[in-house]
């Protein structure tokens, strides 16, 4: 009896220690992931980026690529989630050289960023609109003011255009006879069908009086210089906010082909069909006096996230800033990659076989050769056991249910479910700590107040929630709100920037 009691006490003590270790591990993992995400977002603060790129020297506006003579001849227009901070710095730096301006920003940003004090007699007019990133009558009013300012410019004027993520919804000026409601209907149909951001913007350009280089056309003969925070994979200038200052290179039938790809032709209003079938408007502006400068991007954010991870003791690698596709597929590919990496760390797979088995992930996630080589070196030459893998991009969600959530929360939930149903079943699972965070850099994920969510081993154990049901109903926000009192959600509020999403995977072998 004495030996049995001793043995039971030992088992109880061991179980308690394991529980405490697992609790501590999840807390540490969650804290690390939050901090990596925060550093990524802070690195693309629009005011800091503008101060770095815009200077006034002897009545010359100087950027890293251009120089313009200024003599109270500057005008400012902006649209997007980051432009209020950008415009504030323009006014601070250029002062009375700014003669007029119009900003179209998300609803609520004036209150959120009321600490940004514009001049008492500021000539920059600010309009709010596009609630939940959907064009509305308020953003249409702002866009008409932008259109009117651009058309009033003359030779010798300089138009500074501030562009960031969310700009497409905030620059809404439909081509007649298309109405605002009809244009919104088309975009919603595409979003719910899983169309990519590039596909959305291609259609938006055809239905707009300002996008696809048409703002540039209206501003001629003034010079135009754009400061851009990119929220598009690969940073294509003609797709960021639907390319208002870039001549449109889309083929005449490209937008119509996208509609047909998703079998939406019969759902379109007649006015939209007529515009899509009509020849596109030609841009007549001479291709001179145009400059577009990307000052912030997803890659820049990932770079700073990587620096923080390295300082925190992780071996860090940026694998891709070009992640696209459905979150259901992305979560599966991420899990495939994590399993292979864990096996490599555990000496269960050789380099040649590892490279063969990750070929699908390399292609789908668009991991370039140098990043693959860096990862292989970490695993098979340096024998690293504490890794931070960084990804960025703009995934999509196919909406099948009527729940509440966003692509980042949906991705985190699907990833967590795979940790439980796939990774935890592996013999090596108990030897590793795996964590994941997916967050939007704008701080808002879908029509929710969260930026994203965390996932980690053991998250779904012993809970009274069916993750699969929430996934199928696209109800990730409700799931995470009920789990751990919402502690696994990421809350930042509007960050004032937007360079797509950040995905961070941490993998650590225990006992090292």
How confident is the model over 95-141, as pLDDT tens digits? 999 999 999 999 999 998 989 999 989 999 999 999 878 899 999 99
Q: Residue 419: its pLDDT value, please?
A: 98
Interstrand relation of 501-509 and 386-393 (parallel, antiparallel or unpaired)? antiparallel
Question: Residue 440: phi, psi to the nearest 5?
Answer: -80, 135
Give the pLDDT band (50/70/90) at residue 512.
low
Q: Residue 7: its pLDDT value, please?
A: 35
Which carries the bigger pLDDT value, residue 301 or residue 287?
Answer: 301
What torsion, rounded to 10 degrees, do the Cα atoms 170, 176, 182, 183 define?
A: -40
* Cα angle, residue 27 at apex, residues 22 and 28 outer, rounded to 5°: 95
Q: Residue 239: its pLDDT value, please?
A: 84
Assess whether pLDDT exceeds 60 at residue 1.
no
Q: Residue 134: its pLDDT value, please?
A: 85
Q: Residue 383: its pLDDT value, please?
A: 87
Give the pLDDT band (50/70/90) at residue 490.
very high
Over residues 236-250, mean pLDDT: 90
Judge contact between 415 and 334, C-beta under 8 A.
Answer: yes
Over residues 163-190, mean pLDDT: 94
H-run or E-run covering 413: helix 407-421
How confident is the model over 267-300, as pLDDT tens digits? 999 999 999 999 876 655 665 567 999 999 999 9
The class (CATH top level) of 70-296 is alpha beta
How confident is the model over 465-476, as pLDDT tens digits? 999 999 999 999
Which residues lie across from 355 on neighbouring strands? none
Assess whether pLDDT exceeds 50 at residue 6.
no
Q: What is the CA radius of gyration of the chain?
A: 25
Question: Residue 335: phi, psi to the nearest 5?
Answer: -65, -40
Give the pLDDT band (50/70/90) at residue 22.
very low
Residue (of 353, 415, 418, 416) closest to 379 by Cα position: 353
Q: Residue 472: its pLDDT value, please?
A: 97
Residue (of 323, 305, 410) closest to 37 by Cα position: 305
H-run or E-run covering 61: strand 60-62
- In what side-by-side order are the strands of the sheet with 489-490? 315-323, 386-393, 501-509, 432-440, 452-456, 489-490
Percent of the chain with pLDDT over 70: 93
How confident is the model over 333-387, as pLDDT tens digits? 999 999 999 999 999 999 999 999 999 999 999 999 999 999 999 999 998 999 9
Which carries the bigger pLDDT value, residue 38 or residue 231?
Answer: 38
> CA 93 to CA 89: how far, in whole Å?
6
How confident is the model over 204-228, as pLDDT tens digits? 999 999 999 999 999 999 999 999 9
Percent of the chain with pLDDT over 90: 82
Assess whether pLDDT exceeds 90 at residue 3.
no
Q: Residue 483: its pLDDT value, please?
A: 97
How confident is the model over 405-435, as pLDDT tens digits? 999 999 999 999 999 999 999 999 999 999 9
Over residues 9-36, mean pLDDT: 63
> CA 438 to CA 452: how far, in whole Å?
6
- So where are the chain's domains? 33-44+299-509, 70-296
Indicate the average pLDDT of the chain.
Answer: 92
> CA 476 to CA 414: how far, in whole Å?
9
Residue (of 232, 282, 246) closest to 501 by Cα position: 232
* Cα angle, residue 446 at apex, residues 443 and 449 outer, rounded to 5°: 50
* CATH level 3 topology of 33-44+299-509: glycerate kinase, domain 1 (3.40.1480)
End-to-end CA distance of the chain: 38
Structure tokens at 451: 């930026």
């Amino acid at each position: 009896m004495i030996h049995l009691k001793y043995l039971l006490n030992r088992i109880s003590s061991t179980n308690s220690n394991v529980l405490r270790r697992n609790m501590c591990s999840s807390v540490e993992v969650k804290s690390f992931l939050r901090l990596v995400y925060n550093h990524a977002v802070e690195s693309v603060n629009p005011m800091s980026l503008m101060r770095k790129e815009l200077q006034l020297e002897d009545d010359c506006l100087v950027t890293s690529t251009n120089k313009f003579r200024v003599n109270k001849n500057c005008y400012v227009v902006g649209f997007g989630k980051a432009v209020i901070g950008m415009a504030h710095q323009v006014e601070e730096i250029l002062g009375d050289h700014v003669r007029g301006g119009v900003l179209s920003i998300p609803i609520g940003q004036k209150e959120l960023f009321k600490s940004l004090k514009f001049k008492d007699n500021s000539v920059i007019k600010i309009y709010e609109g596009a609630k939940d990133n959907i064009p509305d009558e308020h953003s249409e009013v702002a866009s008409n003011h932008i259109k009117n300012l651009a058309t009033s410019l003359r030779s010798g004027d300089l138009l500074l255009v501030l562009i960031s993520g969310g700009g497409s919804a905030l620059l809404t000026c439909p081509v007649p006879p298309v109405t605002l409601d009809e244009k919104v209907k088309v975009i919603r149909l595409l979003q719910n069908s899983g169309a990519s951001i590039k596909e959305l913007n291609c259609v938006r350009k055809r239905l707009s009086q300002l996008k696809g280089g048409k703002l540039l056309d209206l501003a001629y003969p003034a010079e135009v210089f754009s400061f851009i925070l990119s929220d598009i994979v690969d940073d294509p200038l003609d797709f960021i906010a639907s390319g208002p200052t870039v001549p449109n290179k889309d083929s005449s039938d490209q937008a119509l082909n996208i509609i047909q790809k998703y079998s939406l032709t019969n759902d379109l209003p007649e006015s939209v069909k007529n515009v899509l079938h009509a020849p596109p408007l030609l841009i007549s502006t001479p291709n001179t006096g145009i400059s577009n400068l990307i000052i912030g991007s997803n890659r820049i954010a990932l770079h700073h996230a990587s620096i923080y991870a390295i300082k925190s003791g992780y071996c860090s690698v940026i694998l891709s800033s070009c992640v696209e596709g459905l979150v259901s597929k992305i979560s599966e590919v991420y899990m495939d990659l994590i399993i292979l990496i864990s096996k490599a760390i555990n000496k269960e797979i050789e380099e040649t076989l590892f490279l063969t088995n990750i070929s699908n992930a390399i292609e789908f996630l668009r991991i370039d050769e140098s990043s693959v080589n860096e990862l292989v070196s970490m695993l098979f030459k340096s024998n690293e056991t504490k890794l931070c893998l960084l990804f960025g991009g703009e995934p999509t969600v196919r909406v099948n249910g009527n729940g509440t959530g966003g692509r980042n929360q949906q991705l985190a939930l699907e990833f967590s479910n795979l940790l439980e149903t796939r990774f935890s079943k592996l013999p090596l699972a108990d030897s590793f700590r795996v964590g994941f965070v997916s967050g939007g850099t704008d701080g808002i994920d879908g029509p929710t107040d969260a930026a994203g969510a965390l996932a980690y081993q053991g998250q779904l154990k012993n809970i009274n929630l069916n993750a699969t049901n929430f996934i199928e109903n696209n109800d990730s926000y409700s799931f995470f709100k009920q789990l751990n009192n919402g502690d696994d959600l990421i809350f930042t509020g509007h960050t004032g920037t937007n360079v797509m999403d950040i995905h961070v995977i941490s993998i650590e072998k225990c006992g090292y």
